[in-house]
Structure 1
Amino acid sequence: MASHLQAYAQRLHDDGYATQSGQLQLRMLAHFSQWLERQRITAPAVTSSTLERYVRSRRKAGKLRRGDPAALSRLLGILRCSHTESPSAPLTATQVVLRQFQHYLRQERSLAEATITHYTPIVAAFLAECFPTGAPDLQQISASDIAGFVRHQAERITTKHASTVVTALRSFLRHLLDRGAIATNLAACVPTIATWKLSTVPKFLPAAQIQRILDACDRDTAVGKRNYTILLLLARLGLRAGEVVALTLDDVDWEAGLITVRGKGKRVAHMPVPVDVGAALTDYLRHARPACASRRVFIRAKAPLNGFANSIAICSLVDRALETAGVESACRGAHLFRHSLATQMLTQGASLPEIGDVLRHRHPDTTAIYAKVDLAALRSIALSWPGGNQ
């Protein structure tokens, strides 16, 4: 185990962990090594279940620290990269079904990883509801199982999320039919969630409140410089949270003044960088971005010094920025800035096609909803209320 601990120490150094934090992790892993010896478990035999047993023993002894499970997972990753690591524990029958579904979405449907990540837990929940006590017998899935699951889900989630549930379920059932796991097209039995185009009004913030949020960033700190730059990208270019996460150093063309944005559906767009965005980005990269091996533009403030894991981190950053600025909004998250940009462009006279170009909408119908927030135009065509002047 000694050689693996040396590799672990090197990884801590590469990921930017503080010396004290690294020492605490190595001390715990040294204890883990001793525990393995007492259990007569060699390094090649360590699996995820081994880590779970050790964590339970540490918790029972009252010695489990918050970061211990993550440290053990990193060690297991190092073991798996070595030639001495034994195979992982066999997958359960449900896990096999989910892996096959993921492979279908990835290889045959060419869906984005974010979509696969959304669909997988939905299908896992469906299988758990249909087969709560044992391995899934896919031939036993019935129309009533499908309707019951959709009904239970729709009772506790938003209409938009419910639409995602039925889409994921239809995709899964088509996959089962394609590979012969079921004999009938059960996808046709998935209920339709009633939705109406343009039935909602986009939530947005006035330009003054957007500026208030930007001004509240403490740009004297490294985290403040990073957050300010992220918020500017959301406010000026209308980027989605996942697009901000995915930005790399290679995506910025300083000579042309362009930034490459990798959007939904694997679409790529080259967008001009506004002056204030370019200045903020330059300030962050020169004075605040940690030195690390990652090519991501935006790096976590604490070790491991990698890019953000997913779009949730950006949405959480936005929520904290609203709280710091004292701005209240019924709608939260990064998309609030995207809606606000579109609304601001509309009030300044931009056409819906122009807004669609900036937001990189594939279909004009997606942009049409912003016509609802053009209050001046709506007032001009509104009829007078009968008797209203009496």
Structure 2
Amino acid sequence: MSATPPRYTISDPLVDDFLLYLETERGLSNNTVEAYGNDLAHVWEYLKAKGVMEWAGVERKHLEGWMSELAKLDYEPATVARKLSALRMFAKFLVRERVCVKDFCELLDSPKLHRKLPGTLSAEEVERLLDAPDEDSPQGLRDRAMLELMYSSGLRVSELCGLPLQAVDLDEGFVRIFGKGSKERVVPVGSKAVTALERYLDVARPKLVKPRTGSDLFLSQWGRALSRKTFWVNLRRHAATAGINKPVKPHLLRHSFATHLLENGADLRAIQEMLGHADISTTQIYTAVKTDSLASQHAQFHPRRKQVSGGDETAD
């Protein structure tokens, strides 16, 4: 079992300046800034215990000892990598601010990560899921529109539930998203999603509006923005109706969007732009999904790989 990272606090003007830089200049979210602050406080606790009294005195050996300590405590490699990422950014910040002469993380090795491939739905499963909501009710029309838009445009669930009316241009067929770090991107909306949204706006949303309803696009029965938790509950219900026997989480539609685009020949850079990934390496994981799928198809259908009764491969 992996260790649960404890919370630390640190009183350090340099760290405060760095976190302010992340928030104002780099545009990172509050949650990310808080996590980085906690990571730096964590490493500082270790360094103080080893007799290091200032950041300028940090050496590679200190950080290698810290990483070994994390490994002994069964921290997941991804958690260690995130902590190290925070420390690397901070070290570069200290060099830029002339607090340190050299980057104390420069020669530090990162832990090897084995990234778990994202799950996806098949195109046929997606069709069944999209058809699952009962479109005789306002809530069903709303859910159909949300599912269509999420799959059509690869939105995060937070982006989907936070959309205002003015973010969607159905005439031009695009949606304007403010994603992580308040970064703006414009994503196309497919024709079927446009049709579902038009039906929701014309027929369903007026029935969900209450006296204090604001400009939120997708409304709950109380006339407020539909929460992510409620969307998740509804998604699981629709997946059960569709007979999908796998855990269906909101991100699964986003993964399916990217995977299906790639399988049908879309450019990886275009997918990166639509998903709002800052780094192409994040998007490249979908190439591994595609490769895995191709290997499965090869094993199932190639005459030299197909299995005959008894478990033996076909003869050459």
2:4 equivalent in structure 1: none
Structure 1 contact 238–338 (Cα < 8 Å) conserved:
yes
Q: Is 2:166 the partner of 1:241? A: no
Matched residue, 1:271:
188
Look up the match of 2:251: 335
Q: What TM-score does the superposition give when structure 2 sets the normalisation length?
A: 0.66
Per-residue CA deviation, residues 286-324 of structure 1 (Å, 9 max, x unaligned), is 232555475443467779x5686xxxx46x843663266
2:40–2:87 Cα contact (<8 Å) kept: yes
Q: Which amino acid in 1 is paired with 2:16?
A: R
Within-5 A mapping of 1:123-272? 123-131=40-48, 137-139=54-56, 141-151=58-68, 153=70, 156=74, 158-188=76-106, 190-195=108-113, 201-214=117-130, 217=133, 226-263=142-179, 266-272=183-189
In the alignment, what sits opposite 1:353? 267
Cα deviation digits, residues 131-189 of structure 1 (max 9, x gap)? 58xxx854554545433444455664554444333222211222233334445422225
Corresponding letter in the other structure for 2:21: Y
CA contact (8 A) 1:239 1:359 kept: no
- CA gap 1:163/1:357 in 2 versus in 1, 3 angstroms: same
Distance 1:107 1:343 in 2: 34
User: Does the 8 Å contact 1:119/1:168 carry over to 2?
Assistant: yes
Aligned mate of 1:106, from 9, 20, 23: 23
Identity over aligned pairs, percent: 19
Q: What's the CA shift string for 1:31-77, capped at 9, x where partnerless?
A: xxxxxxxxxxxxxxxxxxxxxxxxxxxxxxxxxxxxxxxxxxxxxxx
How many residues are matched? 285
State the Cα deviation string for residues 194-227 of structure 1 (Å, max 9, x = none): 247xx75441123444455455556677766655
> Structure 1: how far apart are the matches of 2:163 and 2:200?
12
Aligned equivalents of 2:59 and 2:221: distance in 1? 49
Cα distance in 2 for residues equivalent to 1:369 and 1:101: 35
Whole-Å separation in 1 of the counterparts to 2:12 and 2:302: 57
Q: 1:238: Cα distance to partner?
A: 1.7
* 1:21-60 aligned within 5 A: none
User: Which residue of structure 2 aligns with residue 43 of structure 1?
Assistant: none
Contact 1:296 1:306 in 2 (8 A): yes
Please tell me whether Structure 1 or Structure 2 has the larger radius of gyration of its CA atoms: 1
Q: Separation in 1 of the partners of 2:108 and 2:97?
A: 19
Structure 2 partner of 1:371: 290
Contact 1:204/1:340 (CA < 8 Å) preserved in 2? yes
What CA distance in whole angstroms lies between the structure 2 residues aligned with 1:157 and 1:200?
Answer: 16
Q: CA–CA distance in 2 between the matches of 1:226 and 1:156?
A: 44
- Partners in 1 of 2:186 and 2:199 — Cα distance? 21
Check conservation: 1:289, 1:298, Cα contact below 8 A. no
Structure 1 residue 337: deviation in Å? 0.9
- The residue type equivalent to 1:351 in the other structure is G
Q: Is structure 2 residue 314 aligned with structure 1 residue 389?
A: yes
Instruction: Let me know the Cα RMSD of the aligned residues.
Output: 4.4
Displacement of 1:277 in angstroms is 3.5
What amino acid sits opposite 2:93 in the alignment? Answer: H
Counterpart in the other structure of 1:288? 208
Give the helix-richer structure, 1 or 2. Answer: 1
CA positional deviation for 1:360: 2.2
Q: 1:103 to 1:238 in 2, by over 3 A?
A: same
Deviation string, structure 1 residues 345-369 (Cα, Å, up to 9, x no partner): 566xx21428944972674972533
Gaps of 5+ in 1: 1-91
Distance 1:258 1:108, change over 3 A: closer
Aligned to 1:297: 217
| CA shift for structure 1 position 240 | 2.2
Cα distance in 1, alignment partners of residues 75 and 126 from structure 2: 29
Equivalent-residue separation in structure 2 for 1:323 and 1:104 (angstroms): 43
Question: Mean Cα displacement is larger for which, 262-271 or 251-260?
Answer: 262-271
Which shifted more, 122-131 or 96-105?
122-131
